């Protein structure tokens, strides 16, 4: 009983611990040194900004699998570098030979945050660009630059990016996912 | 600074400039609005990225202490470049900008019906 009250107070005072840490790190990078004073200012800002911006972040942000997150970041970095060279080659090659297409990729993510990361990811990775989120939040429209097998393209996005994101931000249990569904 | 490091930094700077240039060249060479979006979105991320790595290494070796605030620019670029591309694509779809391939009718129809809903609410 007392524990749950304390938890609730803590949650009220520190609504987004992850964002607090992230903002503190960003502040340190901005200040470009790690003096003790800067750490304090960073943590203070990291606490105050989410606290006052709580209205814009009603959903809780959980990272269920930090290791998967690191793996995902590595895959993403690798793909971004690859994507840059692929696109550069395509631009220098023969643009009239490209086969662009609009592809509807069905998604089953529930949290807004995971969805925006997925849309962001598709923009950064080889030959694709997210163009539209369907109003029912069940699919995104992706514009691909050069594609010959739509099914394989969809499969890549789903297994390479969506699956890890689902594991990271929504976990295995559907409880949090249910909470995040918008009416 | 050792010549090797200088060579590495020069390589990174030239590579960055080249990739950024190719990304912009895409605007001229690609053939419709939607494919044109790909060039600047992707070409610039790694291009500017390698310029920033070079800057970070240079000032870490040259100046006092490690210089890491370039990481921040990269991070913001990775966040903002896809968002602007997404918004441009979305606006283009809404205005039915011409494309080499047929526009996705279904998505547009849904979008328009949603738009009408908003209007009827007003």
Q: Does B99 touch chain A (CB under 8 A)?
A: yes
Q: Which of B34, B41, B101 sits opposite A123 (nearest CB)?
A: B41
Instruction: Report yes or no on A125 lying in a domain.
Output: yes
**pLDDT above 70 as % of chain A:** 86
Residue B10 has pLDDT above 90, yes or no: yes
Instruction: Report yes or no on A120 lying in a domain.
Output: yes
- Both A175 and A97 in a single domain? yes
Cβ neighbours of B74 in A, within 8 Å: none
Cβ atoms within 10 A of the Cβ of A107, count?
21
Cβ neighbours of B104 in A, within 8 Å: 102, 104, 141
Of A32-36, B61-65, B100-104, B112-116, which range is least confident? B112-116
* Distance from C-alpha of A24 to C-alpha of A44, rounded to nearest angstrom: 8
pLDDT tens-digit map of B36-59: 888 877 777 888 888 888 888 888
- Both A74 and A27 in a single domain? no
Q: Which of B92, B17, B76 is nearest to A129 (CA)?
A: B92
- Both A49 and A109 in a single domain? no
Top-confidence residue, B107 or A167: A167
Q: Which of B32, B42, B65 sits opposite A87 (nearest CB)?
A: B42
**Does pTM surpass 0.80?**
no
- Could you list the residue range(s) of the whole structural domain that residue A138 is in? 66-180
- Number of CB pairs, chain A paired with chain B, less than 8 A apart: 124
Question: B42 is written with which tokens?
Answer: 């992707």
Instruction: Report yes or no on A21 lying in a domain.
Output: yes
Phi, psi of A103 (to 5 degrees): -125, 130
- Both A76 and A145 in a single domain? yes
Instruction: Report yes or no on A86 lying in a domain.
Output: yes
Helix axes A17-31, B69-94, angle to 10 degrees: 120
- Both A51 and A71 in a single domain? no
For tokens 């009408």, what's the residue?
Answer: B116
- Look at chain A and report how many structural domains it folds into: 2
- Both A50 and A127 in a single domain? no
Highest mean pLDDT (candidates A48-62, A75-89, A133-147): A75-89
- Both A25 and A92 in a single domain? no
- Both A72 and A114 in a single domain? yes
Which pLDDT band holds residue B107 (cuts at 50, 70, 90)? Answer: low
* Distance from C-alpha of A32 to C-alpha of B68, rounded to nearest angstrom: 6
- Both A97 and A14 in a single domain? no
* Distance from C-alpha of A75 to C-alpha of A72, rounded to nearest angstrom: 5
Question: A127 is written with which tokens?
Answer: 């030959």
Residue A119 has pLDDT above 90, yes or no: no
Residue A99 has pLDDT above 90, yes or no: no
Q: Which of A129, A103, A115, A136 is nearest to B86 (CA)?
A: A129
- Both A31 and A121 in a single domain? no
Question: A58 is written with which tokens?
Answer: 């009603």
Which of B86, B112, B116 should we substitute to test contact with A (largest number of A Cβ atoms within 10 Å)?
B86
- Both A46 and A107 in a single domain? no
Of A51-60, A77-86, B48-57, which range is least confident? A51-60
* Distance from C-alpha of B79 to C-alpha of B84, rounded to nearest angstrom: 9
Instruction: Report yes or no on A166 lying in a domain.
Output: yes
Mean pLDDT over each residue of chain B, to the nearest integer: 78
| Domain ranges across chain B | 3-121
Cβ atoms B55, B66 nearer than 8 A: no
* Distance from C-alpha of A1 to C-alpha of A58, rounded to nearest angstrom: 25
**CB contact set of B68 (below 8 Å; sequence gap of 6+):** A29, A32, B56
- Both A52 and A110 in a single domain? no
Of A29-38, A150-159, A174-183, B6-15, which range is least confident? A174-183
Q: Write the DSSP string, A5-49.
A: HHHHHHHHHSS-HHHHHHHHHHHHHHHTS--HHHHHHHHHHHHHH
Q: Which residues pair with A143 in a beta bridge?
A: A102, A129
């Amino acid at each position: 009983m007392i524990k749950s009250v304390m938890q609730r107070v803590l949650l009220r005072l520190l609504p987004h611990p992850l964002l607090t840490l992230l903002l503190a790190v960003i502040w340190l990078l901005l200040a470009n040194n790690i003096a003790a004073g800067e750490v304090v200012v960073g943590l203070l800002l990291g606490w105050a900004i989410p606290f006052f911006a709580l209205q814009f972040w009603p959903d809780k942000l959980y990272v269920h699998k930090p290791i998967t997150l690191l793996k995902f970041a590595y895959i993403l970095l690798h793909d971004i570098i690859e994507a840059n060279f692929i696109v550069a080659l395509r631009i220098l090659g023969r643009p009239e030979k490209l086969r662009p297409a609009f592809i509807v990729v069905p998604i089953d993510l529930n949290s807004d945050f995971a969805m925006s990361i997925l849309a962001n990811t598709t923009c950064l990775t080889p030959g694709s660009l997210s163009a539209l989120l369907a109003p029912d939040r069940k699919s995104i429209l992706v514009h691909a630059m050069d594609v010959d097998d739509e099914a394989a393209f969809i499969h890549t996005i789903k297994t390479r990016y969506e699956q890890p994101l689902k594991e990271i931000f929504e976990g295995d249990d559907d409880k949090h996912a249910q909470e995040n569904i918008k009416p | 600074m050792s010549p090797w490091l200088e060579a590495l930094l020069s390589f990174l700077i030239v590579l960055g400039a080249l990739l950024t240039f190719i990304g912009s060249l895409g605007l001229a060479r690609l053939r419709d609005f939607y494919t044109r979006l790909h060039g600047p979105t992707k070409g610039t991320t790694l291009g500017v990225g390698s310029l920033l790595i070079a800057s970070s290494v240079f000032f870490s070796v040259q100046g006092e202490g490690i210089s890491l605030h370039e990481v921040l620019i990269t991070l913001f670029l990775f966040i903002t470049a896809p968002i602007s591309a997404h918004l441009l694509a979305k606006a283009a779809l809404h205005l039915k900008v011409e494309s080499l391939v047929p526009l996705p009718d279904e998505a547009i129809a849904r979008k328009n019906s949603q738009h009408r809903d908003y209007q009827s609410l007003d």
